[in-house]
């Protein structure tokens, strides 16, 4: 009696082994490291780069613990012994590498090769444990709608004028546009024109004023949703680009709900800079390329641009001279999409302009057919500098030519940029164009920053409380249940291993409340064993033979354990659904802990009990 079939033992051992392997990477502490990646267009990273980096660090007396070259990701990873050296090294590298390479602080896992081969990784640490910034940003949808209404208002006038329809004026009242006409007939004509242009974008209706025939127009709900979606997407794109420049390893930029964006920057120490950078503004300009026969190279060398021109650099660093006069600025762009040209099947970007922009653009492009036109991306960032040891910021404008293309035809409301090398380039250009034409501003509505020192302290105190709590429970169980106490303790240890393994395998984020969840689970996980053991004791008291008592204990306690755990699981699921960041971490560990304790405390502990007592005569149980 009380013997398990072999497969159950094998199952328990297998779970334990897999658990141990996948929990193991967490025992190797991560190295503070710097990740260096080449900017697009710059020379790819190489062994020579590593050597020059090591040399410039050695000059300042810093030796990295290890340098790794990752050619597939075009990255170099430098590991350091501690955070101070890491920070010092980053300052040195920022100066010596210049703008060609991005440096990002990172915590690189020090998982040994054989574990990496098994795809075993340590748990991902939350911002409260590794330090960093969490921003919740809200897109100003009211402004997005306002801008759209302004645009429609302009366009109404343009379209009516173009079709020579006599109208008195277009005004705006709240969210409604009102076009005024002298007669109902003119209104009907105007309505036909606008309906032809907008189809379902705009909902129109007739309403007579005191002396005029009015046409009222509202943005259709579908269109409004599309406008808001566009504003959100655009902001995400812009934020992503800026975060890349900030140099953050493993940033998270995600949509949350209908109008919010979560930005998480692990390891960022200087939150002030991060905030300024995220708040930077970007715009676009279209300019004609200078055709006065001036040499850009010599202008670049002397640093002086000839009269009427302005010196720019392309993304690969080549100088180029553009005309001083701006053809069009990015605020007129309403959309930009990458795609393929239907005739040549080459990648292209289609751009839509609003009414005003279209009128202007068609005039200037009409006069300059067959001439090259450059697209300039302008970004205002804040750079840090020190005055008397005090940190200050000044706006720095970065201007960059992202594309040069020949004007093939008179361009108007929608046109295409071709001559792009690859679909990737088209996609990136479309992103930049959209980023340069922000439809709506974003605001920070929530910020949670944890400094690196506090992060480390949180890890230390978290593990300390897990360790001490765990040990105390072990001692108590051993003292109270003796041999069965050992069984419960082994099951509990297995439970902790399984929790860590599952968290690591699924790459869940471990947060401080998550650690609290593990501690709580340790306390509660013994409950299943306590229930079983108390049941066994009761059976023994009633004079039932030992083997039957064990069997009865496990069988009878099972439904109780299941009921009790499922209800706790309900609470965990609700917590998860409600959860913002840290709370979610607590819910996850609690849920995983409950589930794994069901396995370890029932099947795991039974396997041990069967192994110790099963299949033989016993006079007395040590319980």
Of residues 326 through 355, those in contact with other proteins by CB under 8 A are none
Which one of residues 302, 445, 615, 616 is an interface residue with other proteins (CB under 8 A)?
445
Looking at residue 390, what DSSP letter applies?
Answer: E
Provide, rounded to whole angstroms, the least separation between the CB of residue 103 and other proteins: 22
Q: Does 249 bind other proteins (CB under 8 A)?
A: no
Nearest residue (CB) to other proteins, 320 versus 515: 515
Choices 9-17, 340-348, 462-470, 542-550 (CB under 8 A): range interacting with other proteins: 462-470
Which one of residues 21, 524, 603, 611 is an interface residue with other proteins (CB under 8 A)?
524
Choices 14-22, 50-58, 448-456, 612-620 (CB under 8 A): range interacting with other proteins: 448-456
Q: Does 193 bind other proteins (CB under 8 A)?
A: no
Identify the H or E element spanning 443: strand 442-450
Q: In sequence order, which residues have a C-beta less than 8 Å from that of residue 296 and are 6 or more positions away?
A: 311, 318, 319, 320, 321
Choices 66-74, 103-111, 116-124, 445-453 (CB under 8 A): range interacting with other proteins: 445-453
Which one of residues 69, 404, 520, 544 is an interface residue with other proteins (CB under 8 A)?
520
β-pairing verdict for 347-353 and 372-387 = unpaired
Nearest residue (CB) to other proteins, 51 versus 84: 84
User: What part of residues 126-155 is at the interface with other proteins (CB under 8 A)?
Assistant: 128, 136, 138
Q: Does 468 bind other proteins (CB under 8 A)?
A: yes
Per-residue binding string, other proteins, 410-429, x by CB under 8 A, is --------------------
Does residue 452 contact residue 269 with C-beta atoms inside 8 Å? Answer: yes
**What is the C-alpha separation between 586 and 518, in angstroms, rounded?**
8
Choices 166-174, 226-234, 307-315, 574-582 (CB under 8 A): range interacting with other proteins: 574-582
Which one of residues 94, 172, 427, 448 is an interface residue with other proteins (CB under 8 A)?
448
DSSP percent split of the chain into helix, strand, coil, nearest 5 = 50, 25, 25
How far from each other are the two terminal CA atoms of the chain, in whole angstroms?
Answer: 19
Which one of residues 174, 559, 617, 620 is an interface residue with other proteins (CB under 8 A)?
559
Q: In sequence order, which residues have a C-beta less than 8 Å from that of residue 370 and are 6 or more positions away?
A: 406, 407, 408
CA distances from 497 to 17, 120, 145, 357 (A): 10, 14, 53, 63
Which one of residues 49, 522, 540, 549 is an interface residue with other proteins (CB under 8 A)?
522
Q: Does 560 bind other proteins (CB under 8 A)?
A: yes
Q: In sequence order, which residues have a C-beta less than 8 Å from that of residue 381 and are 6 or more positions away?
A: 245, 276, 277, 280, 395, 396, 398
Choices 118-126, 230-238, 352-360, 449-457 (CB under 8 A): range interacting with other proteins: 449-457
Q: In sequence order, which residues have a C-beta less than 8 Å from that of residue 109 and are 6 or more positions away?
A: 25, 28, 30, 121, 122
Does residue 555 contact residue 482 with C-beta atoms inside 8 Å? Answer: no
Q: Does 38 bind other proteins (CB under 8 A)?
A: no
User: What part of residues 373-392 is at the interface with other proteins (CB under 8 A)?
Assistant: 389
User: What part of residues 278-307 is at the interface with other proteins (CB under 8 A)?
Assistant: 279
What's the distance, CA 621 to chain centroid? 56
Does residue 622 contact residue 484 with C-beta atoms inside 8 Å? Answer: yes
Which one of residues 534, 547, 611, 618 is an interface residue with other proteins (CB under 8 A)?
534
Nearest residue (CB) to other proteins, 157 versus 275: 275
Q: Does 431 bind other proteins (CB under 8 A)?
A: no
Which one of residues 453, 555, 615, 622 is an interface residue with other proteins (CB under 8 A)?
453
Nearest residue (CB) to other proteins, 268 versus 336: 268
Q: Does 543 bind other proteins (CB under 8 A)?
A: no
Among residues 284, 282, 294, which one has the least CA distance to residue 320? 294
Among residues 184, 403, 395, which one has the least CA distance to residue 287? 403
């Amino acid at each position: 009696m009380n013997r398990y079939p072999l497969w159950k033992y094998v199952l328990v051992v297998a779970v334990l082994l897999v658990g141990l392997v996948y929990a193991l990477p967490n025992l190797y502490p991560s190295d503070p490291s710097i990740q260096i990646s080449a900017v697009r267009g710059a020379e790819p990273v190489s062994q020579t780069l590593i050597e020059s980096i090591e040399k410039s660090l050695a000059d300042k007396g810093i030796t990295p613990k290890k340098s790794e070259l990752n050619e597939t990701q075009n990255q170099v990873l430098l590991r350091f012994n501690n955070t101070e050296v890491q920070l010092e090294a980053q300052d040195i590298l920022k100066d010596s590498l210049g703008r060609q390479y991005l440096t990002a602080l990172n915590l690189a896992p020090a998982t040994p090769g054989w574990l990496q081969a098994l795809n075993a990784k340590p748990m991902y640490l939350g911002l409260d444990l590794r330090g960093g910034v969490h921003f919740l940003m809200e897109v100003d949808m009211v402004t997005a709608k306002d801008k759209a209404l302004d645009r429609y208002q302009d366009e109404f006038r343009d379209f009516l004028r173009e079709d020579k329809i006599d109208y008195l004026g277009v005004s705006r009242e709240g969210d409604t546009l009102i076009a005024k006409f002298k007669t109902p007939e003119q209104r009907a004509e105007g309505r036909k024109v606008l309906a032809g242009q907008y189809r379902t974008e705009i909902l129109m209706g007739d309403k007579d004023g005191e002396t005029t025939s009015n046409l009222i127009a509202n943005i259709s709900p579908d269109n409004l949703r599309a406008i808001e979606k566009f504003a959100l997407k655009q902001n995400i794109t812009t934020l992503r680009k800026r975060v890349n420049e900030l140099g953050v390893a493993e940033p998270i930029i995600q949509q949350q709900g209908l109008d919010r964006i979560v930005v998480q920057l692990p390891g960022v120490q200087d939150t002030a800079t991060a905030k300024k950078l995220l708040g930077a503004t970007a715009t676009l300009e279209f300019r004609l390329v200078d055709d006065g026969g001036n040499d850009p190279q010599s202008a670049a060398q002397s640093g002086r641009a000839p009269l009427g021109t302005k010196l720019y650099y392309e993304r690969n660093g080549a100088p180029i001279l553009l005309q001083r006069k701006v053809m069009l600025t990015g605020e007129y762009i309403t959309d930009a999409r990458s795609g393929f040209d239907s005739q040549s099947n080459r990648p292209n970007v289609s751009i839509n302009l609003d009414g005003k922009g279209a009128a202007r653009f068609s005039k200037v492009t009409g006069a300059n057919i067959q001439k090259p036109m450059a697209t300039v991306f302008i970004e205002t960032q804040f750079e840090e500098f020190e005055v008397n040891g005090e940190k200050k910021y000044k706006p720095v404008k970065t201007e960059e030519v992202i594309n040069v293309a020949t004007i093939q035809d008179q361009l108007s409301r929608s046109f295409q940029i071709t001559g792009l090398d690859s679909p990737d380039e088209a996609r990136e250009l479309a992103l930049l164009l959209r980023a340069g034409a922000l439809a709506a501003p974003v605001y920070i509505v929530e910020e949670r920053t944890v400094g690196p020192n506090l992060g480390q302290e949180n890890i230390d105190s978290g593990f300390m409380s897990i360790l001490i709590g765990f040990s105390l429970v072990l001692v108590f169980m051993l003292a109270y249940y003796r041999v069965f106490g050992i069984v419960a303790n082994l099951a509990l240890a297995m439970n902790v291993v399984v929790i860590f393994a599952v968290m690591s395998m699924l790459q869940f984020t471990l947060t401080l409340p998550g650690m609290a969840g593990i501690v709580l689970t340790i306390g509660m996980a013994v409950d299943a064993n306590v229930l079983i053991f108390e049941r066994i004791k009761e059976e023994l008291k009633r004079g039932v033979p030992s083997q039957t008592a064990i069997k009865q204990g496990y069988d009878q306690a099972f439904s109780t354990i299941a009921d009790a755990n499922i209800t706790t699981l309900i609470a965990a699921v609700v917590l998860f659904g409600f959860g913002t960041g840290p709370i979610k971490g607590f819910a996850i560990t609690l849920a995983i802990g409950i589930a794994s304790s069901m396995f370890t405390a029932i099947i795991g502990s039974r396997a041990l009990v069967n192994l110790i007592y099963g299949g033989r005569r016993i006079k007395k149980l040590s319980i």
